[in-house]
Amino acid sequence: MIEKHKQSHEKLSFALLGYRTTIRTLTGASPYMLVYGTEAVIPAEVEIPSLRIIQEAELDNAEWVKSLYKQLALIDGKRMNVVCHGQLYQNRMSRDFNKRVKPRQFILGQLVLMKIFPHQDEAKGKFSPNWQGPYMVHRVLTRGALILTEMDGEVWPKPINSDALKRYYV
């Protein structure tokens, strides 16, 4: 029994490596088989044997099911490794990015300038200013959001992200 399993395992490994196998009858032969004398083995079949590869290796059903379960377990292990490596990579990238981030702390009544973005009407060309203001900080919200007031006391209805602001020095 062990000898038979060993022989079938050897047959499977030769089939997986793409060694030439011959089919004794010409019925059902593919054009590739007729030209080159062997069936083509695609790279995916090397990792996960297809039914054709298993039939060429002449495995019985129980051995085929065992090899299939083994391949599925191998795929799950590889998938978990990829997920873990992806998470480690993301953590490393965010840590490296956050090293360079300098948090901006604003207090009530502080004067700030607001960045003019290209989609705003104030951005009229290459030589237009990049900042507008000054504005006064009316309220400090969570996660870096601020509510500003104009210099005449008019309060803005929408909060502004602190990334678009910088301190105005008088």
Please state, in angstroms and rounded to a whole number, the distance separating the CA atoms of residues 135 and 151: 6
The pLDDT tens digits along the chain (170 residues) read 445 444 444 454 444 444 444 444 446 677 777 777 777 766 666 566 666 666 666 667 777 678 778 877 888 888 888 899 999 999 999 999 988 877 788 999 999 999 988 877 776 778 888 898 899 999 998 888 999 999 999 998 899 998 889 999 88
3-class DSSP state of 24: coil
Chain segment 6-50, per-residue pLDDT in tens: 444 445 444 444 444 444 444 667 777 777 777 776 666 656 666
How many residues are listed for the chain in this entry? 170
Please state, in angstroms and rounded to a whole number, the distance separating the CA atoms of residues 169 and 11: 80
Cβ neighbours, 10 Å, residue 163: 10
